[in-house]
Structure 1
């Protein structure tokens, strides 16, 4: 469980941000990219012996990353407006 919430979601977030910079990924494609990276990490690294668990947790990693990103972006924008 530590891996899921503490390491995997931030790892996906960092990888997505790096890929956004390197390949100029447009906004509408970011959630899809996040889900694909989450699935790859989950199926091949986190849960290599259980495909169903890998797929389920991969969607969790990807969607968790999108939620964290949206929350941070909204908070940052609100902070900027307040100043």
Structure 2
């Protein structure tokens, strides 16, 4: 029975490159390919899972999946919080 959480070792990729790379790819998809706003989170999740599973944590699937969702959520949080802050500033 699975009773313990997996041990996830973070590395330099996780700390410095993971989220910014996903953020840049999502913004490029938005600007260059005119991806609709409703699909941005899907693009973010697919890119983040791909980077995390195949580059960041190639030997640990559970860590790759967990960190992929973490990268995706962080990148989308940056995009949406920046957008909301801008709109709040403009309203004032």
Give the TM-score taking structure 2 as reference length.
0.80
Structure showing greater radius of gyration is: 2
Shift of 1:5: 4.4
Shift of 1:7: 2.3
Task: Report the RMSD for the aligned CA atoms in angstroms.
Answer: 1.4
Would you identify which runs of 4 or more consecutive aligned residues in structure 1 move more than 4 Å? Answer: none
Provide Cα deviations, 1:17-52, integer angstroms capped at 9, x if missing partner.
Answer: 001122110011000100001001101111011111
1:14 aligns with 2:24: yes
Q: Which residue of 2 aligns with 1:46?
A: 56
1:24 aligns with 2:34: yes
Change (3 A) 1:55 1:72: same
Q: Which residue of 2 aligns with 1:72?
A: 82
Higher helix share: 1
Q: Secondary structure at the match of 2:18?
A: helix
Give the TM-score taking structure 1 as reference length.
0.88
Shift of 1:12: 0.6
Q: How many residues align?
A: 82
Change (3 A) 1:15 1:70: same
For structure 1, the residue ranges without an aligned partner over 5 or more in a row are none
